[in-house]
Amino acid sequence: MTIVFRLKGFEQDCFEIRYAAGVLMRGGLVAFPTETVYGLGALVWDEGAVSKIFQVKGRPSDNPLIVHVSSIEMVEKVASRIPEDAYKLMEKAWPGPLTIVLPKSERVPRIVTAGLDTVAVRMPSHPVALSLIRETGEPVAAPSANPSGKPSPTSGTHVVRDLIGRVEVILDAGETLYGVESTVVNIVTEPPVLLRPGAIPVEEVEKILGRKILIPEFAKGLGQVEKPLAPGMKYRHYAPEAKLVLVEPSSYTRECLKALAEYIKTQALAGSDGKPCILATLETLQHYSGVGAETFTLGSRENPFEIARNLFTILRKVDEEECSIVYAEGFPDQGLGLTIMNRLRKAASEKHLINC
């Protein structure tokens, strides 16, 4: 049985938080909101509880989890060493959607880190998440609260649909702020490496560190690695049930965006099987009239925060609307555009580049 607590007018010292913390301390699973997406948490030291996360999600065992903390003292429990760069990032970006990869403490079970000698750590800024961790008094290991590979949940409603009857408690606090996962940076290496773009653009992390961060191809959603150091590096992720076709133009001029829309329109009109759908932007919406495909608007290209925030919600909606094939527009690999493209490339069944 799953207990769903809907938190409106949230108070830190409330019965619901105390109850959920008790469930974690007794080896249960709790789904909770963060500012990025909803997480599925277990007490980090409890190997049995952590193993249930993998079972519930259908998550591969070589895909490490992120450890969520509410204080620097908790970081010191899970990390064997904290480099100076880590303190810079913690001071400027925490609490917030930035995950830092650090050398692992021997105390952290290997199931949490997929056998790696490093551990991914972050301090969420959502008041429910922070209160839950503080009440528990220990770090909480938590991936996103959805079946592995599917779009991450950005509302309590998504979590209830995905996990009702499979976890002990769901803390429903409505929609999340960012709608995409945290940015993950490995500072154990030199130079630091972006492992996953997320809610904080990598350019902002570079400003804090005062130097460049290496951005490998897999962080762009191109290719994968055999041994992932963080979530989202190896497997196909974020994918709807519908076939997703990603179309990228060779540039993002006004003329090229028009050519992009015309190409997608032609492909949608040519499709014969099932229901075609299109993920568009406000700038291209006018070009899709008369297609006969359902069009979902992600937002304006002038506001990548809006597009990132809407992305997973709309990827879920295309399945609710029973789309059979979805054509998605591409975005420049800059700022939050890099995050958006990482998610779209990871979700795509096919990718096309048009020269314009």
> Which residues are documented as binding site?
36, 59, 63, 68, 118, 122, 142, 144, 152, 182, 196, 238
SS in 3 state form for 222-261?
A: CCCCCCCCCCCCCCCCCCCCCEEEEEEECCCCHHHHHHHH
Rounded CA-CA distance 346/39 in Å is 20
Rounded CA-CA distance 234/243 in Å is 20
Rounded CA-CA distance 233/225 in Å is 6
The annotated binding site for L-threonine is made up of 36, 68, 122, 142, 182
Q: Which strand (E) or helix (H) includes residue 202?
A: helix 202-209
What CA–CA distances, in Å, run from 172 to 113, 155, 156? 27, 7, 4
Tokens of 128: 């429910």
The annotated binding site for ATP is made up of 59, 63, 118, 144, 152, 196, 238
Tokens of 53: 């996360």
| Main-chain phi, psi angles of 326, to 5 degrees | -125, 125
Rounded CA-CA distance 289/280 in Å is 12
156 SS3 class: helix
Partners of residue 276 on adjacent β-strands:
325
